Structure 1
Amino acid sequence: MPDAENAGDNAARIAAAWHPLTEWLAEHAPRSYAQLLPPATDDEMREAEAVLAEWARHPDGGEPRSPRS
């Protein structure tokens, strides 16, 4: 997992990578562009990281438990 110092740089690089893709979709495939969801919030990202971390502890394919349980 990236450290906090690099997290902002990584987020900026990811946003920059998405920009040409979303611009192309907006121009050439507006219905697909309209289907795109907004970026995840910080809270949603933390929840996803917790779920993935729990899932990674189950390499045998077992069901991870919800972080809310």
Structure 2
Amino acid sequence: MNAITHIRDSNEMLLVLLGAFALFGHDWLAATAGKTVAAVVGIALIVLAGIGIRDDIQDLLATEAPA
């Protein structure tokens, strides 16, 4: 298993949600709750995706490191 496959498999749903929010949810949320709330939700999704990818890379490096 390579790093790209591992990251894609473990974070696929979060990244799909992030993409869906970027395409559809941001405008809807901005119209109903305000631009600030929409921006905060978008930033939170980006941060969660980044944390998930970082953790996966750390796990992958720890399991594939030579003893």
State the TM bucket, normalised to the shorter chain: 0.3 to 0.5
Q: Which has the larger radius of gyration?
A: 1
Structure with bigger helix share is 2
Normalised by the length of structure 2, the TM-score is 0.35
Normalised by the length of structure 1, the TM-score is 0.35
Q: Which has the higher contact order (CA 8 A, sep 6+)?
A: 2
